[in-house]
Amino acid sequence: MKRETVLITICIAAALAVAAGIGIYFMVQEKVEENEMVSTNSAGFAIEEIPSADPALVGKWSCAENPQWYKVYYDDYDDDYGFFWGKEWDESDEVFEEDLMYHGNGWFRWRKDNNQLTELHTMDANDLPIPKMWFIKFLSIRTPNDSLVMINSERKAQSFHFTRVQH
């Protein structure tokens, strides 16, 4: 009886070892296939490159006409919309940066195409974008005070002058 018990134990151990080996083989094979899919050297897929934000615009800006109105343009890319994130607030209205809910009221997605600046503003309640269009009349990072002049596309006579805020 002992010989049969030893033989059965050896057979069970061998079967478990074979099953584990097959499982490990398929897990390794799956990882290899995943790596081949994102490799740019294979016939699979290439990873899409994230666009760069305009470095001249990225940063914190204060309005010359209302120094308590701030706009911040980040280089944080949003894949869903193909825009970058930004935010604005006006401390003269007693709204401060720390009052803004992350990606809620005061936040917007932005994209600059040549001199056209598009902002898609968000809300706390839902992510229904509200577009705001600007024409960039002047953007300079060469002067001692970086300058940005924007014209509201809906009200051509309405322009705003901003200077970069140094941290």
Cα-Cα end-to-end distance for the chain: 83
Tokens of 123: 């809300």
Buried b / exposed e along 87-122 (16+ C-beta atoms within 10 A):
bbbeeeeebeeeebeebeebbbbbbbeeeebbbbbb
pTM, full prediction? 0.69
> Maximum CA pair distance of the chain?
101
Which of 87-96, 126-135, 152-161 is the least confident region? 152-161
pLDDT digits (tens, 9 = 90+) for 18-76: 666 676 666 666 655 555 444 455 555 555 688 899 999 999 999 999 999 999 999 99
Tokens of 127: 């992510």
Cβ atoms of 38 and 48 closer than 8 Å: no
